[in-house]
Structure 1
């Protein structure tokens, strides 16, 4: 067996035995390779991964040509050869699953491999629609694919954490899982008479909201991890916006959007303050605050950011841009001004240089992020003088 085949077999074994566990895969330097595994931690050298990819690509396109034929055989065989046709189809499916997992590990933007995996799940969904009595196989397949995406998106790999293909595939999976589980819940729910108490309905709504909040928080943890591995991860936080919207639409309760936003404001703010230079996080929390109906929560959140910036002496553009946008959007400019030791009546000024080399003060009607930062610098100077 060639080195390329060995590399493929070893990686295929790791993927096939993960049992829905989330792996953490990283590229090793050549001196430590070619492949190491300890529980859920996997390390592989770039050369060994390339060798595995070469074999995976050959197997994938070789079996892809046979796949429709095997599916037809599997669907129509009714005689004594049925078991052998089923065996051939199962082997073909295993090869396609293993090869696409390795292909996506090497090239996260390989659309052919990703689309094949999606088409396979689409076939399962169509089968479920025809006979919805047992949704377990479809749910299990969707959950397995979700954990595979989590493995890719949360591993310290070069491109995977910011892959538009993987994030779009994940949102597609989540939609499918919610549709199946939603249908299952409705089917299992007992028929309610018109005299059902309001308390029962409220309790059902509460449980549904709690379930949505838990799902939102678990997806947010994945996005935070991806954001730490790849700063300014716009694809990850755009994914969270889609998750938020899908859950709000699924609940069909007017206040759900605000409730979901309020449930993750604190954790999102904590992450943003730990990564103050990441503009993608700041724009996301701004998006959450827009959905919040409680004005005090907006005020407190912006105030915490201002106080943090003053306490640590932060001058980065991303944080002060958030303060500027939030102050204007939520009408809290007076609070920001007062926190920066200015009165609400203060007119912001900046110094400009004239053509003759002299300078003069110019009035700025609406403060930009630089104007807020200028005020903060004056605050720091005055504070240091007092101390």
Structure 2
């Protein structure tokens, strides 16, 4: 039995070391998926790069990997080499797939990356698949932190950079948190974070990660070395973000973290020089970056449609606090908030 478990663990680690399209944790054991072609020789579902791992089998492999991992770690610390790195990478892969909060395993993988014995780009791909392998995996803050570390390891951070103006409240001044990433990478990270938010409702850690990505965008726009072409591309990402999150809130009216993120992005980017430049190509579209009152009217519209949702009342209150409106609009919002408050109090 132990021999079979060890063989399955080696096979899974080998598969996970390859480039995959996705990873999904399947309910049940191997027998529950025999109709899909799973056998003792191949107990995992692998089709066109999409890997399915039965959860009960994975738990058995986790126990096995937990037993071998300490010895692998000691061996690697004693003599860091390709030979000692391979079993450590294999055991830690199974550990973090089963338990993405396994800090010791993640630290071991950081060491392998730092020693150039584990490709950081491959590690980014693996962690993306693990974060979207299940609902519970999507909310693991430890794995999101690991991904932040990988991005800082791959993409340079300007050590002599300082903001020309203090960032808005809630935005970091820490240079070490702001790697300079290509726009395609920024868009990839945003897509991953939103996928995790779809899997786990009101995913605070994924929204925080999304905020961190826009801290990078804010830093890059404020960098004197950022040329006009780069600025235009980054501004387009910001504009797309605002429109996308407005739509997201329309479909997720209880997601207050999304509300906070939207207001925060409009606050930060609606007041930058970059945003002023972008107004010339917006053709006077009514968007929040140009006219923050659009957020207030958006919150009012949703609250009128769903007066029972306290999150929407908080959305409107937050927008009013950050973006003080004209007196006439403010008076209308106060009337609406009072009416909705009475409606919620009288609800059974």
Match of 1:90 in 2: 82
- What is the TM-score of this pair, normalised by structure 2? 0.72
Query: 1:58-92: per-residue Cα shift (whole Å, max 9, x none)?
Result: 33222222113432xxxxxxxxxxxxxxxxx4332
Q: Secondary structure at the match of 1:179?
A: coil
Q: By how many angstroms is 1:298 displaced?
A: 1.7
Match of 1:266 in 2: 243
Q: By how many angstroms is 1:115 displaced?
A: 0.4
Residues 337 and 35 of structure 1, relative CA distance in 2, 3 Å threshold: same
Q: What pairs with 1:313-332 in structure 2 (closer than 5 Å)?
A: 313=306, 315-332=308-325
Question: How far apart are the structure 2 equivalents of 1:273 and 1:5?
Answer: 49
Q: By how many angstroms is 1:47 displaced?
A: 1.9
Residues 36 and 119 of structure 1, relative CA distance in 2, 3 Å threshold: same
Name which of 188, 199, 210 aligns with 1:218. Answer: 188
Match of 1:286 in 2: 263
Query: 1:126-159: per-residue Cα shift (whole Å, max 9, x none)?
Result: xxxxxxxxxxx98xx221111111111122242x
Residues 250 and 42 of structure 1, relative CA distance in 2, 3 Å threshold: same
The answer on 1:276 being equivalent to 2:253 is yes
Query: 1:146-182: per-residue Cα shift (whole Å, max 9, x none)?
Result: 1111111122242x211111011111111122218x8
Name which of 122, 132, 143 aligns with 2:121. Answer: 143
Q: Which 5+ residue runs of structure 1 have no aligned equivalent?
A: 72-88, 125-136, 184-209, 349-366, 378-387
The answer on 1:27 being equivalent to 2:26 is yes
Q: By how many angstroms is 1:113 displaced?
A: 0.5
Residues 28 and 336 of structure 1, relative CA distance in 2, 3 Å threshold: farther
The answer on 1:58 being equivalent to 2:57 is no
Larger Cα-atom Rg: 1
The answer on 1:307 being equivalent to 2:307 is no
Q: By how many angstroms is 1:118 displaced?
A: 0.8
Contact persistence 2:13–2:94 (CA under 8 A) = yes
Q: Secondary structure at the match of 2:24?
A: strand
Q: By how many angstroms is 1:13 displaced?
A: 2.5
Contact persistence 2:144–2:206 (CA under 8 A) = yes
Question: How far apart are the structure 1 equivalents of 2:307 and 2:48?
Answer: 41
Q: Which 5+ residue runs of structure 2 have no aligned equivalent?
A: 35-42, 160-179, 276-288
Q: What pairs with 1:131-210 in structure 2 (closer than 5 Å)?
A: 141-158=119-136, 160-179=137-156
Residues 305 and 40 of structure 1, relative CA distance in 2, 3 Å threshold: farther
How many aligned residue pairs are there?
289
Question: How far apart are the structure 1 equivalents of 2:23 and 2:296?
Answer: 36
Residues 372 and 322 of structure 1, relative CA distance in 2, 3 Å threshold: farther
Question: How far apart are the structure 2 equivalents of 1:280 and 1:320?
Answer: 14
Question: How far apart are the structure 1 equivalents of 2:194 and 2:328?
Answer: 30
Query: 1:287-322: per-residue Cα shift (whole Å, max 9, x none)?
Result: 112112266332223323433443x44531222211
Q: What pairs with 1:343-362 in structure 2 (closer than 5 Å)?
A: 348=335
Q: Which moved more, 1:270-279 or 1:99-108?
A: 270-279
Query: 1:32-51: per-residue Cα shift (whole Å, max 9, x none)?
Result: 36632222333323320111
Contact persistence 1:3–1:51 (CA under 8 A) = no
Question: How far apart are the structure 1 equivalents of 2:67 and 2:294?
Answer: 57
Residues 230 and 267 of structure 1, relative CA distance in 2, 3 Å threshold: same
Match of 1:110 in 2: 102
Q: Which runs of 4+ in 1 moved over 6 A?
A: none
- What is the TM-score of this pair, normalised by structure 1? 0.65
Q: By how many angstroms is 1:376 displaced?
A: 9.0
